[in-house]
Amino acid sequence: MVTSIAKISPKGQITLPAEIRRALNLREGDRVVFQVSNDGKVFISGLPSYEPENVIGILHTEQELDDFQEIRRKARLLRAQRYLQADRVENEDDQN
């Protein structure tokens, strides 16, 4: 078990001590969940922020994957096409 002490700032903030961050495998930008039990015990757990660049390739696949920038480009194009299609349908409804 890792134990550490932190001081509350005038703004009500604390800095998680390095040994706690290491134990929870937390980095800058990650979220932290605080839970308080009825008997006053506080439980802290980390919610790591997964950047797409860091998780692509974790799962094994037989097919070749596009690089992340290409995936984003395709997603933007698809979103724009859906927007234009919805706008066209809305305009047709207005004309009828």
Q: Which two tokens stand for residue 58?
A: 């974790």
pLDDT at 58 exceeding the cut of 90? no
pLDDT in tens, 8-55: 999 999 999 999 988 888 888 888 889 999 999 988 888 866 666 556
The pLDDT of residue 64? 66
The residue among 16 and 72 whose pLDDT is bigger is: 16
pLDDT of amino acid 24? 87
Domain ranges of the chain: 1-49, 52-95
Distance CA 82, CA 62 (A): 30
Residue-level pLDDT at 46:
85
> Which residues are within 8 A (CB) of 57 and not within 5 positions of it... i.e. 6 or more apart?
65
CATH node for 1-49: 2.10.260.10
What pLDDT sits at residue 50? 66
Residue 28, token pair as written in the block: 């800058």
Residue type, 84: L
Cβ atoms of 6 and 21 within 8 Å: the answer is no
Mean pLDDT across 54-77: 72
Cα–Cα distance measured from residue 93 to residue 71, given in angstroms and rounded to the nearest whole number: 33
SS3 for 77? Answer: helix
What is the DSSP-derived secondary structure letter of residue 31?
E
pLDDT of residue 57 exceeding 90, the answer is no
